[in-house]
């Protein structure tokens, strides 16, 4: 998801630019003030609690704010992401937002802070006050509002600066010029994001071919458990000896073996833009294992791409591969091929459904030439990176 926290002092044009960001990226607007008013108007249990606190002159607690925001977020399952306005306002709320988004398998993409000189802000606010016939917006009152904003924003900005996702945006000039700067900052944030992608598809669907091309094009690391295991067998290692009987029959090797090899590959690739997983996970248990491995790195699965071919087409391709120098021992026997296809349907489809429930699955046709399929794959990845999905 593309998740943005938009900041700006009074008069910076935050309202105008938030409307544009919402439309540009198809985001959902999350304003604590607006959501509180909605909950109170609806008379929801959370709204009643908030109303009672406000009527007594109290401040709505972080605990209640979190419940209200979480409630709003959970209702929006079809969004590209969220634009947060007025939240977070404290370092504690920064941690809270991290936790909320982590529960959705996502994170904050960037904090965009509109920067405008104080004299220009004062001019804008006084002009706006005249139009609204508000006489109480004196220079002193305006300066108090600005100072309050700066005192609250500095620690929040530092929190996101330390994460490398805080972008200061020049808020002067025309509306279109500011929009151009905002868009450039968002695009830069998306370029710097990791993308961890799982490839699903029947044996013979072309996952390996496409994964190699993807890794080269997007500067990602290709993690093929099959390739690593074949190398272990070739090197006559202890892991190779254990794995060989499973590999000869096209069966799933014990999880602890795959975990060891995958973790070594990840640790050996610190400068990567992300990982492409092929051949793992093949079961729902392995799906949980991948989540755990990536969580140790403060990362997660970004998307899963399913390359769709029919079982008959998969069998034809495997039969053809058996006649080339790329053949595997398990390509030679029709019974083994059928067994692998059945295993995919009975076990790996459960792992595929695990990601479908998170709205992370994107299916593309695997029919046609390698180049045609790769074009479809790239179109999908570009959308994933552009939207942060």
Q: Kindly report the CATH class assigned to 2-27+79-191.
A: alpha beta
**Domains 2-27+79-191 and 197-387 are alike in CATH topology:** yes
Structural tokens at position 321: 């591969």
Q: What is the pLDDT of residue 387?
A: 57
Tell me the C-alpha distance between 379 and 388, whole Å. Answer: 14
Please, are residues 179 and 342 in contact by the beta-carbon 8 Å criterion?
no
**Which CATH number applies to 197-387?**
3.40.50.300
Q: What is the pLDDT of residue 389?
A: 45
Residue of 301, 302, 320, 285 whose CA lies nearest to 203: 320
Q: What is the pLDDT of residue 383?
A: 79
Pairing relationship of beta strands 110-115 and 197-200 according to DSSP bridges: unpaired
Q: What is the pLDDT of residue 2?
A: 87
pTM of the complete model beyond 0.75: no
Question: Where exactly are the structural domains of the chain?
Answer: 2-27+79-191, 197-387
Tell me the C-alpha distance between 56 and 44, whole Å. Answer: 18
Low-confidence ranges of the chain (pLDDT < 50): 389
- Could you report the per-residue pLDDT of 170-208, keeping only the tens digit for each? 999 999 999 999 999 998 887 766 789 999 999 999 999
Angle at 233 between CA 228 and CA 236, to 5 degrees: 125
Tell me the C-alpha distance between 272 and 318, whole Å. Answer: 32
- Could you report the per-residue pLDDT of 132-159, keeping only the tens digit for each? 666 556 788 888 889 988 988 889 999 9
Q: What is the pLDDT of residue 309?
A: 96
């Amino acid at each position: 998801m593309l998740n943005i926290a938009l900041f700006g002092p009074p008069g910076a044009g935050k309202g105008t630019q938030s409307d544009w960001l919402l439309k540009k990226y198809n985001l959902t607007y999350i304003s604590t003030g607006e959501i509180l008013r909605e909950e109170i108007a609806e008379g929801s249990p959370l709204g009643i609690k908030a109303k009672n606190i406000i009527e007594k002159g109290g401040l709505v607690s972080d605990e209640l704010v979190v419940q209200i925001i979480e409630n709003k977020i959970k209702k929006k399952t079809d969004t590209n992401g969220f634009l947060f306005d007025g939240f977070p306002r404290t370092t504690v709320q920064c941690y809270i937002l991290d936790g909320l988004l982590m529960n959705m398998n996502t994170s904050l993409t960037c904090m965009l802070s509109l920067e405008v000189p104080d004299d220009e802000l004062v001019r804008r606010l006084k002009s706006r006050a005249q139009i609204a016939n508000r006489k109480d917006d004196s220079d002193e009152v305006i300066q108090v509002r600005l100072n309050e904003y700066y005192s609250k924003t500095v620690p929040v900005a530092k929190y996101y600066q330390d994460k490398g996702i805080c972008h200061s945006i020049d808020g002067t000039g025309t509306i279109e010029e500011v929009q151009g700067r905002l868009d450039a900052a968002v695009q830069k944030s998306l370029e710097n994001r990791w993308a961890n992608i799982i490839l699903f598809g029947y044996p013979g669907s072309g996952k390996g071919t496409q994964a190699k091309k993807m890794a080269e094009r997007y500067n990602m690391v290709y993690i093929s458990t099959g390739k690593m295991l074949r190398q272990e067998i070739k090197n006559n290692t202890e892991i190779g000896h254990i794995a060989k009987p499973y590999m000869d029959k096209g069966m799933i090797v014990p999880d602890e073996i795959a975990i060891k090899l995958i973790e070594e590959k990840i640790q050996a690739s610190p400068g990567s833009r992300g990982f492409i997983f092929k051949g793992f996970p093949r079961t729902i248990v392995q799906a949980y294992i991948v989540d755990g491995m990536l969580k140790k790195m403060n990362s997660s699965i970004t998307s899963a791409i399913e390359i769709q071919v029919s079982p008959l087409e998969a069998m034809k391709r495997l039969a053809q591969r058996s006649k080339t120098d790329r053949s595997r021992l398990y390509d030679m026997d029709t019974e083994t091929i059928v067994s692998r296809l059945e295993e995919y349907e009975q076990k790996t489809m459960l792992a595929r459904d695990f990601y479908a429930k998170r709205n992370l699955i994107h299916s593309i046709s695997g029919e046609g030439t390698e180049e045609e399929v790769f074009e479809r794959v790239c179109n999908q990845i570009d959308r994933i990176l552009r939207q942060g999905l």
